[in-house]
Structure 1
Amino acid sequence: MEKSQEIRNRIKSISGTRKITKAMEMIASSKIRRAQNRILEARAFISSIEEVITDVACYSGLLHFPLLTPHENDRTVLILGVTADRGLCGGYNSNIVRLIEKTFRMVSAAGKTVKLDIIGIRGRNYFRYMGYEIEKVYENLSDYPKFLDAREISREIISRYLSEQVDRVIICYTRFKNPAEQIPSVRQLLPIPIYGGISDENIEDIVKNSNKLFYDRLESLGQIQIGDKTCRINPEFLYDPSPADVIGSLLPQYIYTIVYGALLEATASETGARMTAMKSASDNAEEMIKDLVLMYHRARQQQITMEIAEIVSGAQALATVAE
């Protein structure tokens, strides 16, 4: 059994660690509500933009915009991976990194050239260590992402897509469900799949349908088929500004908002994962302290018993000598 002093030192060390994990848990819990509110606002805004884009494009017949139209040659795919800048958040980083790697392998296996952009220091360090070539890195965005940051990233991506440096853009991020559960997700950014709603897509579907056109103009019927939605072109609708101006201004804003929403989802997921991990660490430290306190009392009791036995033995020896 360990000596009493050694056990006391371990208790002191673990108690200090528990104070740190408890403080981190409280900080994360104070941030999570604000992060959740920002996510709900972003989701509602994204849904509204998608509805407007789909309706205007559908009822006006304006579907041949550069950001909506797939490239003729679908050869180069850009993957934008959203990771964290810091650790101590449980399996958050490892889960999203695995998803990015899986997406990379599946797109490569489909015969595509894959380019990789990474948001977050943790992802940057991992993929550089593993030998991946990273095109661009964006750091220090995970703590409190701003719309201006998302707009800067989106403009860079749109520029590369319009100049045909890349033919498709996929974003991998972590979707927030609750503080205890985060879902690594993937969705296609460009060309914009206007039939898809805000739901995330499967990697297999994205890879399999890489050359799928997202619309089918039915001139003879005066209709447009977008996924499962059939809309009749109505030339009597009047738009001010024109439908082309509306869609032309909304499409870039839509990409900005999708990227911003992904950053918000990732931040909330990281915060929730950190809160859960620190709570688990604090609880484990508490259990360890209880076990060590029990060990300390037993060791102390054994030491006292031994000292009493030595005193009694000494007294008996003195009595024997005196006789």
Structure 2
Amino acid sequence: MAQSTREIKRRIKGIGSTKQITKAMELVSSAKMRKRRIMLDKTRPYYNTVLENIKEVLENVNVNHTLLKQREVKNALYIIINGDKGLAGGYNSNINRLIHKKFKNDKDSISLITVGAKSKDFFKGRDYNIIESFVGISEDPKFTDAKKIGNLAMELFKKEEVDEINVVYTDFITTLSYKPTILKLLPSEKIKKEDSGPTTIVDFEPTPEEVLEFLIPKYIESSIFGALIEASTSEQAARMTAMSAATDNANDIIDELNMEYNRARQSAITIELSEIVAGAEALK
């Protein structure tokens, strides 16, 4: 019985050490999530401004831009944004399953740009066509990262190697709510010319074509950057939630082990007292 109490104490100590790690990870993820939410609030107005400017140009002039061409979709590009690390509940697997379920029987119809080691490893192991992989940027993305990804995607679209561009990410709603999302970037209904009735005469400097040449890449880059920030915020929220649940589970296990330890000690003491009483009776 003494051996049993020692074993229980070792288990309590081990789970206590794990609890310290999960609690620390919870606090770190909470701090990172707050920073990402601040960044998220800053990126959304920029994205909306660029989008409205594109619409304004298209409403007033008829421009046939390379990046706005509609064509038959033979090969679609999917930019998949995921994490580099685990321990975030179902965050990584939700995105991976979303695409794999959709295209597992039609892999030749898509090409991938993966962001995050988890997506890279998942789709590489299932023989998808990965054009480029970006790792080490998922937790703290920069606009330069979005620009690199966007430039690569637009170049593929211009060369007609892909016929549409989509970004797949986790949309942050609240700390406890986030969902996998597929956003079509090109050709997109969001930047489609709107029928707003009679148009006003607007002069564009230098020309409408050159204005769009500047705005459309900014739209792609800001959309990708926004998706990176949404995904990063969701990842930290998912990890914070997962680590909080792990800490709570550790507390529950420690409570149960403490009760088991006390019962073992009580049983050992009872046995010892019984042996003492039996010995005393034998001496009478």
Question: Shorter-chain TM-score category?
Answer: over 0.9
C-alpha distance in structure 2 between counterparts of 1:258 and 1:76, whole Å: 21
- 1:147-205 deviations in Å (ceiling 9; x for gaps): 1111011101111100111111111110111121111000112224334xxxxxxxxxx
Q: 2:227 aligns to what?
A: 262
Residue identity opposite 1:310 in structure 2:
E
Q: 1:147 aligns to what?
A: 143
Q: 2:59 aligns to what?
A: 58
- Contact 1:58/1:231 (8 A) holds in 2: no
- Contact 1:53/1:194 (8 A) holds in 2: no
- Contact 1:99/1:172 (8 A) holds in 2: no
Shift of 1:9: 0.9
TM-score (norm 1): 0.83
**Long gaps (5+) in structure 1:** 196-213, 216-225
Q: 2:198 aligns to what?
A: 232
C-alpha distance in structure 1 between counterparts of 2:279 and 2:66, whole Å: 97
Q: 2:16 aligns to what?
A: 15
Shift of 1:102: 3.2
- Contact 1:61/1:233 (8 A) holds in 2: no
- Contact 1:59/1:232 (8 A) holds in 2: no
**Long gaps (5+) in structure 2:** none
- 1:272-304 deviations in Å (ceiling 9; x for gaps): 000000000001101111111011101100100
Q: 1:48 aligns to what?
A: 49
Shift of 1:243: 2.4
Residue identity opposite 1:5 in structure 2:
R
Shift of 1:74: 2.3
Shift of 1:54: 0.3
Q: 2:256 aligns to what?
A: 291
Shift of 1:103: 3.7
Shift of 1:315: 1.4
Residue identity opposite 1:191 in structure 2:
P
- Where 1:3 maps in the other structure, the secondary structure is helix
Residue of structure 2 aligned with 1:309, choices 269, 274, 281: 274
- Contact 1:173/1:185 (8 A) holds in 2: yes
- Contact 1:59/1:231 (8 A) holds in 2: no
Shift of 1:131: 3.1
Q: 2:78 aligns to what?
A: 79
- Contact 2:77/2:111 (8 A) holds in 1: yes
Q: 1:36 aligns to what?
A: 37
Asked if 1:159 is matched to 2:147, the reply is no
- Contact 2:110/2:129 (8 A) holds in 1: no
Asked if 1:175 is matched to 2:174, the reply is no
- Contact 1:58/1:232 (8 A) holds in 2: no
- Contact 1:79/1:104 (8 A) holds in 2: no
Shift of 1:125: 1.2
- Where 2:67 maps in the other structure, the secondary structure is coil
TM-score (norm 2): 0.94
Q: 1:221 aligns to what?
A: none
Flag the 1:40–1:57 CA change in 2: closer, same or farther, 3 A. same
Residue of structure 1 aligned with 2:242, choices 277, 285, 293: 277
Number of paired residues? 283
C-alpha distance in structure 1 between counterparts of 2:127 and 2:65, whole Å: 37
Residue of structure 2 aligned with 1:241, choices 206, 210, 234: 206
Q: 1:70 aligns to what?
A: 70
Shift of 1:44: 1.4
- 1:100-143 deviations in Å (ceiling 9; x for gaps): 2234358x39xx72112211101111122233332221111112
Q: Percent identity of the aligned residues?
A: 36
- Where 2:130 maps in the other structure, the secondary structure is coil
Residue of structure 1 aligned with 2:112, choices 92, 116, 124: 116
- Contact 1:161/1:168 (8 A) holds in 2: yes
Residue identity opposite 1:176 in structure 2:
F
Q: 2:103 aligns to what?
A: 104
Residue identity opposite 1:161 in structure 2:
F
C-alpha distance in structure 2 between counterparts of 1:103 and 1:41, whole Å: 33
- Bigger proportion of residues as helix: 2
